[in-house]
Structure 1
Amino acid sequence: MAAQSWPAAAKDLVMTALGTSRVWATLAHGIINEVYWPAVDQPQVRDFGFLVAGAGWWRELKRVDSYTLSTPDPTIQLPTISHHGDGDGYQVTLRPVVDPDRDTLLIAYTVTGTGVRLYPLLAPHLSIYRPASEDEWPAFGADNVAWLDPADNTMFASSRTRCVCVSASPPFSRGSAGFVSDTDGWTDFSRNQAMTWTYSLAGPGVVALMGELTESSGLLAVGFGETPAQARAVGQASLAAGFDAVAARFSSGWQTWASGLTLPGTAQGLSPVVTDAIRQSAAVLKTHEDHAVPGAFVASLATPWGEDTNDPAGYHMVWCRDGAECGLALAAAGRTDDAVNLLAYLASKQQADGHWPRCFFVDGSFDPNAAVQLDEVAFPVLLAARLEEYGVALPTSIDDMIRKAAIYLAQNGPISGVDLWEENSGGSPFTIALEIVAMVAAATCLGGLDQQYALALADNWNERLEEFTYVAGSQLDRYFGTDGHYVRIGPSADQIRVGNQPASVEPIAAEAQVGMEFLYLPRLGLRDPADKRITDTLVVVDRMIRRDTPSGSTYYRYNTDGYGEWLDGSGWPRRRFGTRFGIGRPWPLLAGELGHYEAIRGGDPATQLTAMLAMRGRGGLLPEQIWDGNSLPWRHLEPGKPAGSAMPLAWAQSELIKLAITIATGRPVEMLQSVLARYGRTAPTSDRWFWRDAAPVRDLPPGRTLVIEDPRPFTLHFGFDEWNAVSERNAEQLGLGMFGVSLGSADLASHASVQFVRRYVDGQWEPASRHDVALHVTRAPALRLSAAELGRVTAAGGRARRAGHRPTG
């Protein structure tokens, strides 16, 4: 029996109606791909394709791949798909539309050609999708039952409370239900060159349905319900309403929504091509929102390399980062109402301690084993602050959301458990920058100690940002003639285990791996775009991870990336050696990140904008990755064009909108006035330096107060200059649930170093036997161990370096 899987992830178009309908449809290769129901994260149809046949021949339209696609307006994704079989003399036109009032996908069809008949072929993938271990994946959609109504050949499939019905007007002349790769309609044509089977029932298993249409035009309805009767009823109602009425309602809903857009246009110097592209992108973002749960935006209506996996989640889950990117873009585009809904939804899914899961289904269910990303804790705070700058009234729940997020960041930052690419822990310039901005933004709705501490912590992390993420004088710098560069993950003492590579691949030094994360420092207003550390890093990344393609230049996520197709174009999920691996491909959204930098430094961002537009797919959608190898037409891979990971990617569509707005206004959407006012694109001089396990202070500059902090109350046992003048001091509340002991100028003035260890209120000593801080150091701080490396040292009690000090008795 065939294994269940998903279709290719590179879509031509995504569509939904703005009404009570709970259906989303995707198109690729000229046919319907996944159809989602009853939520935006629940795909129920693998694909709905078409065979066309005449006397002695047959073709599958998606394999012929000779079609055109058009829509009436960039914001109205109401496609007309025209398939041409020049050698066979046929033309098939398909016009799908989601019924705004019913859970139905309606498709008008016309067929021309002598003796030509059309055969719709439905592959159901009915299930209730949820977080699951990988050994559970094969079962999803593999227990479906398919059958025909003998009265009119209406086709059905079901799995528990998930039912689909395909009805036709005029009715199907005959139909067949079968097991995929055994008794299904495609296998019938493959073996017999015609439809010869008319099985009435198949399943449970991986099944498919096929019907024969003898008329040259008509309507198809794909209806969904919790019972077969419900699925049939909504489909019949849509057929009775007729295509023209349904399409008019569909168009009216999108026209009303699009009338609220306030995007820049030709009057602001943008070309008509760019104007259409960003309007389409805004509609694509809106399409990724759930209908029953407003504000729940998924990352993509696709499963990366779906033909090679049966992953029940794919990218049709909610990520705080991707969702906030959508919210920022939609707010900047004038749809602040959608951004507020998004923010309110995220607030409702925040965990009690203030963080969000890495990703989650619309109902909030998630994998509890996934590591927390601190950028995803910071992004909702940034979105809230930007909406307030627009003068938008926010729900009363948002202040509580911000406070809880600030507490989590204060207690767990600045080193993230996993970076934005979900692969490595450490100090990411992208993540730490967002944490700093979130703390500054959060301070506006905090008071007292909480506000003072949030700002002091943000100032110190900002001043020390290079300590966590920058290296000077490395082998790379000597080679490229630069003074130093920002790393992808710091500190540089780390050896990074590269994700998406075979388990046998050795770790590499953090200083040897670079990415584009550092560009968020000027984009957020924390560093000047002309800062030599920024410009030097650009030299390094241009030499190491830039890729020039026929569509323009963009970048890999980082050198040694393995998340992408293999040399032969086969998908990432196919290879596994300890872990899945491939070859990372360039990302169009990274061209957008460079475009933002060019805009704020007064350069030429149009080159990057043009590149992003050229990297779009046939329907104008932006992919996650583009292909950078030789042409592989049998895999639909062409240099500079979409690869097979996922298209559209909501994050990339958001980046296009924001880049166009930044070009028109000169200011990135993410740049907050409060941050600019506080830092003015330069690192501050912070009065207090905060020592914590994840970010220890080893060298304290002159005139600063040293604060040893911890989420738990403790007593500090400390001494100076190798444990002289030993004393103890109880920690006091700092704010945001943190406790600390401050050693100021009067404590430190006459000493060269301080040693300390913590004892908690239960009488237990911390694992480390001592910590050391050098005082009054004027040299630039060195990069230090990450939380992971530090944990290994402290677990050993530091005894390999020096003897510890604890009082006895």
Structure 2
Amino acid sequence: MDAPDGYAPGWPGIPARWTSSAKSGVGTALSDKSRVWFTLSHGIFNEIYYPRIDQACVRDMGLIVTDGADFLSEEKRDTTSELRWLAKGVPAFHLFNTCRLGRYRIEKKILADPQRDTVLQQTRFVAQKGQVSDYRLYVLLAPHLGNHGAGNTAWIGEYKGQPMLFAERDGNALALACSVPWMKCSVGFVGFSDGWQDITSHQQMAWDYARAENGNVALTAEVDLQAGGGEFVLALGFGRNAAEAGNRARATLQDGFEAARSKYVRQWSGWQETLLQLDKNRSDNGQNLYRTSTAVVRAHEAFNFPGGIIASLSIPWGFSKGDNDLGGYHLAWPRDLAESAGGLLAAGAHREVRRVLCYLQATQEADGHWAQNMWLDGSPYWNGIQMDETALPVLLVDLARREKALDTADVARFWPMVRQAAAYLVRNGPVSPQDRWEEDPGYSPFTVAAEIAALLAAADLADLHHEPGIARYLRETADVWHASIDRWMFVTGTDWCRKYDVAGYYVRIAPVVKEEGVSRFLESIAVKNVTTDQAESPVCHLVSPDALALVRFGLRAADDPRIRDTVKVVDALLKVEAPQGPIWHRYNGDGYGEHEDGEPFDGTGIGRVWPLLTGERAHFELAAGRVQEAKRLQAALESFASADGLLSEQIWDAPDLPDRELFFGRPSGSAMPLVWAHAEYLKLLRSLSDGRVFDIPPQPVARYLTENTEAFCLVWRFNHKIHSLPAGKILRIETLAPAVIRWSPDEWNTSQEIRTNDTGLGIHSADLATGSLTEGKQARFTFYWLEAGHWEGVDWGVSIGAAQLGG
């Protein structure tokens, strides 16, 4: 069916796709009057986000140059691009895009208007061969309003007499205006009637469609180069409707680029001056990764959801992703959020950390946990539950308190949040049946270590708020979990032990098994591409640098033989020597990364190495007292940054694939920048400045490394039954409802009853006097449920053994 006159043909266009995640710059104004975040890649605008940092509204916007006859050059493909920051620590950018054939150069200055929802591009076109009049210049804009490439409507129109190009979808709109006249404008459906198809076919604009409805659309306009002598300003305004967007674009042009630049730079520079001078001994030559990192982390905060920091302004492998993958990394992960806030705290950004804690308080679920990841309004995106994402906010409160970022009133405000989170941890931890560390269920050193440290931090806060009973119970629970770490996650006698000459090692994912025997991994776990270790029993072991979290969270000393042995295995299996220095894989068999041929991750792939892990290893080396090695790893981490100073999620660790822009030791197609990586770098600078690990919680260090506190009991509960108890230990029974426990030490020849106590955290507990029972005996017990008024009708048993708990 033919399109009506003036309407573009080819509805609805090809399926929409996003674009490269390899950002060269990210930015936003430090103003609550501006709700726009922009990204740059390959010398042009990439995704632009409005009105929230988790909602992309633009795929990209770039330029095409022709001579109207036989020369055509696309800016993002046919130029070499150089990016400079307009000022230190200010995410506004000066781009120099030079034609590879030497015909022209395009200079741009890019930032957001601090006064309104507009991004600005001041542009200068320089003819390196011939005159400016020999060339034609076209703007191509791809709207993806509301995180969708489909369902957009585009048209040519005007606002108060000024010609503009518009697009709208479901309550979001944009308007593109220029400081010089348009020569020609058109809109169309991508792949059929868009400007790229037109210009590449005709070397100029031959089409002038006025409207393209409800599809994957693109906007194209020819700039009048003669009018400004090759210089002009583009203003892309956003609003709830076309009039709002048009108003903002026009008002920004009226104020002028210099007014926006001056205020933008002044606001960012003023904020940078409030931070610690962790770069004071650094020369100004080259990239100042400290100021870049502080700006990157701060630029990822949602000002209309204060304290909401997303994981990355990027969509990993975005060029292969469409509307069915709405989230990308522009979501809030509580884990990443807490780690990012820790980086800001290391730099001295106290107010920002208080905002993060307020945001966490507002998005905490009623039962005390946080969603695995979420939109900025708190709506969950994925449906998993990860226990460390509940533990880390607790540790952030304690770290902020110790750094004096919180006063007494602040701590009192956040205590209910901490109390709820601690209650969730003790009710569901150490590993919930729903708990998955990324792909796989089971015990993880990082998660368990974070939980134990969080319980001890929460106990201190409970004491501060006059709840000694809760404090005591949290510490006792932490002791039980701490004493069980080796039983849960330390393996011995395997082929890897023999191959690498170690006594044992910690594993990344230990499945939750029905029996409590030491290192009894007899249940199978479904993990793709995982090395099978043939010991006495076939076992799937995931080994990871995550084990170093036991040191980072204060549960093991850096020189502990178990840690040393684990590091030896980790380095043998996961370490890669890149040109810049050592870097590590997350774990053996990781499938999150490009395929061997460089094809993007599509649910399967080969996990690549992570710069973040080099930062974490540097912290471990500092904890071990090897300062020079920590500094060497710091230098390696800095070298893993892109030429523009951004740290990626992963680094390509295979031979170069130039056609896919994949080079050994350089960023892969995963998220860039990864905010957590920049935050880890900030913490590393602070740690090296202080001469100690900045964020190590002192409570586990004091309790387990200095005082050598041991657990006096072991816990049985319905979601975590144990079958044996070391002689001399107390058996603690925990339930979610009040009960009377009838138990017998002698196969019911005699029995006694004990009533559970309410811990105040949704757990009811009772300690059975099993300390005097000898090896071979059994404690048997059953329950009378007080609220329901009936007996359970089943009894359970726990055998007394000789083995002692490992510390």
| Fold equivalence (TM over 0.5) | yes
Percent of pairs identical after alignment?
A: 36
1:321-371 CA-partner distances (Å, limit 9, x unpaired)? 11111111111101011001001110111111101111111111124x612
State whether residues 287 and 644 of structure 2, in contact with CA within 8 Å, keep that contact through their aligned partners in structure 1: no
Structure 1 residue 85: Cα displacement? 1.2
Partner of 2:568 in structure 1?
539
Equivalent residue of 1:32, what SS? strand
Q: Residue 533 of structure 2 aligns with which residue?
A: none
AA partner of residue 40 (structure 1): I
> Does 2:171 match 1:161?
yes
Out of 328, 335, 346, the residue aligned to residue 332 of structure 1 is 346
TM-aligned CA deviation for residue 564 of structure 1: 0.6
Shift of 1:174: 0.8
Residue 54 of structure 2 is aligned to residue 41 of structure 1 = yes
Instruction: For residues 425-480 of structure 1, give each alpha carbon's deviation from its aligned partner in whole angstroms, at most 9, with x where no partner exists.
Output: 21111011111111111112321321110111011111211112111222221221
Give CA deviations for 1:152-194 in whole Å, capped at 9, x if unaligned. Answer: 5411111131100000010211111010010001111222233
Cα gap change, 1:500 to 1:750, in 2 (>3 Å): closer
Map 1:378-389 → 2, pairs under 5 A:
378-389=391-402
Say which of 750, 758, 762 aligns to 1:737. Answer: 762
Q: Is residue 2:250 matched to residue 1:236?
A: yes
- Is the 8 Å Cα contact of residues 235 and 252 (structure 2) preserved in structure 1? yes
C-alpha distance in structure 2 between counterparts of 1:771 and 1:445, whole Å:
36
1:119 paired residue among 126, 132, 138: 138
Is 1:516 paired with 2:523?
Answer: no
Amino acid at match of 1:743: L
- Residues in 1 aligned to 2:712 and 2:695: alpha-carbon distance in whole angstroms: 27
- Aligned partners of 2:143 and 2:218 also within 8 Å: yes
The Cα shift of 1:687 comes to 1.8
**Distance between the aligned counterparts of 1:201 and 1:457, measured in 2?**
65
CA contact (8 A) 1:152 1:172 kept: no
Matched with 2:337 is 323
Partner of 2:210: 200
Distance 1:190 1:572 in 2: 31
Structure 2 residue corresponding to 1:101, chosen from 101, 108, 115: 115
1:543-595: CA deviation from partner (whole Å, max 9, x where unpaired): 1111222232211111111111112212112xxxxxx2111111110111111
What is the correspondence of 1:133-152 to structure 2 with a 5 Å cutoff?
Answer: 140-149=148-157
Match for residue 612 of structure 2 among 560, 567, 589: 589
Counterpart-to-counterpart distance in 2, 1:74 and 1:764: 70
C-alpha displacement of 1:518 = 1.0
Aligned: 1:177 with 2:195: no
TM-score, normalization by structure 1: 0.89
Structure 2 contact 484–805 (Cα < 8 Å) conserved: no
Q: Matches of 2:175 and 2:696 in 1, distance apart? A: 49
Q: Distance in 2 between matches of 1:26 and 1:440?
A: 41
Q: Shift in Å at residue 694 of structure 1?
A: 4.4
Aligned mates of 1:14, 1:673 — CA distance in 2: 36
Query: Deviation digits for residues 509-560 of structure 1, max 9, x if unmatched?
Result: 6652111111111112111000011010011111111122223221111111
The answer to whether structure 1 residue 639 and structure 2 residue 664 are counterparts is yes
Distance (Å, rounded) in 1 between the aligned partners of 2:435 and 2:734? 24
Q: CA RMSD in A?
A: 2.3
With over 3 angstroms needed to count, the CA separation of the structure-2 counterparts of 1:681 and 1:248, relative to structure 1, is farther
Give 3-state SS (helix, strand or coil) of 2:450's partner: helix
Q: Which amino acid aligns with 1:195?
A: M
Q: Contact conserved, 1:141 with 1:206, CA < 8 A, in 2?
A: yes
Tell me what 1:408 maps to.
424
Deviates more, 1:88-97 or 1:22-31: 88-97
User: For the Cα contact (< 8 Å) 2:713–2:730, is it kept in 1?
Assistant: yes
**Aligned residue runs from structure 1 range 790-809, under 5 A:** none
Could you report, residue by residue, the CA deviation over 1:389-433 in whole angstroms, capped at 9, with x for unpaired residues? 112222643111010001100100111446674212211110111
- SS at 2:733's partner residue? strand
Name the residue aligned to 2:314: 302
Shift of 1:260: 0.9
Distance 1:199 1:274, change over 3 A: closer
| Gaps in structure 1 of 5+ consecutive residues | 130-139, 502-507, 574-579, 783-809
Displacement of 1:722 in angstroms is 5.0
Give unpaired runs (5+ residues) of structure 2.
1-12, 512-520, 531-536
Range that drifts further, 717-726 or 529-538? 717-726
Contact 1:719 1:727 in 2 (8 A): yes
Task: Please give the residue correspondences for 1:579-728 in structure 2 after superposition, counting only pairs within 5 Å.
Answer: 580-603=603-626, 604-680=629-705, 684-720=709-745, 724-728=749-753
**CA distance in 2: counterparts of 1:397 and 1:693, whole angstroms:** 34
- Contact between 1:23 and 1:39, CA under 8 Å: does it hold in 2? yes
- Looking at structure 1, the residues matched to 474 and 285 of structure 2 have their Cα atoms a distance apart, in angstroms, of 44
Q: Does 1:448 align with 2:465?
A: no
Map 1:353-368 → 2, pairs under 5 A:
353-367=367-381
Letter in 2 for 1:537: T
- 417 and 96 in structure 1: CA distance in 2 versus 1, 3 angstrom threshold: farther
Please tell me whether the aligned partners of residues 6 and 308 of structure 1 are also in contact (alpha carbons under 8 angstroms).
yes
Counterpart contact for 1:179–1:206, Cα < 8 Å: yes
Cα deviation for residue 753 of structure 1 reads 2.5
Q: Does 662-671 or 690-699 show the bigger shift?
A: 690-699
Equivalence for 2:600 = 571
Which residue is 1:799 aligned to? none
Hey, what's the Cα distance between the residues in 2 that align with 1:403 and 1:45? 42
Give the counterpart letter for 2:634 in structure 1: L
Change (3 A) 1:553 1:722: farther
- Matched-pair contact (CA < 8 Å) for 2:138–2:220: yes
Which position in structure 2 is the counterpart of 1:471? 491
1:212 equivalent in alignment to 2:222? yes
TM superposition score normalised by structure 2: 0.90
Equivalent position SS for 2:613? helix
Distance between the aligned counterparts of 1:747 and 1:243, measured in 2? 81
Pairwise CA distance, 1:683: 5.5
Between the aligned partners of 2:791 and 2:95, the Cα distance in structure 1 is: 70
Q: Taking structure 1 as reference, are residues 558 and 161 closer, same or farther at Cα in structure 2, changes over 3 Å only?
A: same
Q: Which residue identity does 2:624 align to in structure 1?
A: R
Q: Name the residue aligned to 2:414.
A: 398
The Cα shift of 1:496 comes to 2.4
